C-alpha cells in the first residue's frame, strides 16, 4: 500500500524553486492552499515537533498519509508555531542532510520534497522515496547522503 502525500503550500518562497509545487504538477502529491482544506488525519512533518518519526508510524501514515508544509525557512518557527493542523500527528524527521542547491549540507534545512522522501524512507517506503527524488537533479544525491544505498 502506497502512502498518500499531501503538501500545504503557503506561498512564502519563489514559486520557480518550489519543490512542493513540482510534486503536485507531476501528480506525486496533492496540493492544498489552506490548512482547513487538509483531510484531518495522518502525519504532519513538523521540524519543531517533540516526537521523531519512526518506522512504527508507518501504519498511521498508510491510513492517513503524510503532509509536508511548504514554507520559507526564514519564517518556519513562526509559521509552525501558528499552524494548527487538527487531527494530524506532528512528527519531526531525524537529522538529515539536504542536497538541494539552496541549503545543501545544512542539516535539517530540507525542501518539502526532501522532507517527504526522507519520511518515506524512514517508514520503509524506499521505492516511493526514490520515485519522489527522481523528479530533481539533486534528488538521488539526497537519498545517497542519508540512507543506505543498498536499501534504495
Residues of the chain with pLDDT under 50: 1, 150-152
Cβ-Cβ contacts under 8 Å for 61 (sequence gap 6 or more): 3, 42, 43, 119, 123
pLDDT at 148: 74
pLDDT at 150: 46
Residue pLDDT, tens place only, 79-101: 777 777 777 888 999 999 999 99
CA torsion angle for 68, 36, 42, 97 (degrees, to 10)? 10
Cβ-Cβ contacts under 8 Å for 100 (sequence gap 6 or more): 19, 110, 111, 114, 136, 138, 142
pLDDT at 73: 78
What is the distance between the alpha carbons of residues 75 and 11, in angstroms, rounded to a whole number? 12
pLDDT at 149: 57
Q: What is the largest CA-CA distance in the chain?
A: 40
C-alpha cell read off for 120: 518515506
User: Can you give the pTM of this predicted structure?
Assistant: 0.90
Amino acid at each position: 500500500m502506497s502512502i498518500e502525500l499531501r503538501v500545504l503550500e503557503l506561498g512564502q518562497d519563489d514559486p520557480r524553486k518550489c519543490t512542493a509545487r513540482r510534486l503536485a504538477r507531476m501528480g506525486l502529491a496533492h496540493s492544498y492552499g489552506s490548512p482547513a482544506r487538509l483531510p484531518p488525519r495522518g502525519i504532519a512533518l513538523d521540524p519543531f515537533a517533540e516526537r521523531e518519526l519512526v518506522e512504527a508510524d508507518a501504519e498511521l501514515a498508510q491510513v492517513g498519509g503524510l503532509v509536508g508544509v511548504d514554507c520559507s525557512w526564514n519564517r518556519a518557527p513562526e509559521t509552525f508555531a501558528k499552524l494548527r493542523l487538527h487531527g494530524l500527528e506532528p512528527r519531526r524527521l531525524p537529522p538529515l542532510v539536504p542536497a538541494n542547491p539552496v541549503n545543501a549540507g545544512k542539516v535539517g534545512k530540507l525542501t518539502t520534497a526532501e522532507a517527504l522522501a526522507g519520511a518515506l524512507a524512514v517508514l520503509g517506503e524506499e521505492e516511493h522515496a526514490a520515485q519522489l527524488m527522481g523528479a530533481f537533479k539533486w534528488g538521488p544525491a539526497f537519498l545517497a547522503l542519508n540512507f543506505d544505498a543498498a536499501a534504495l
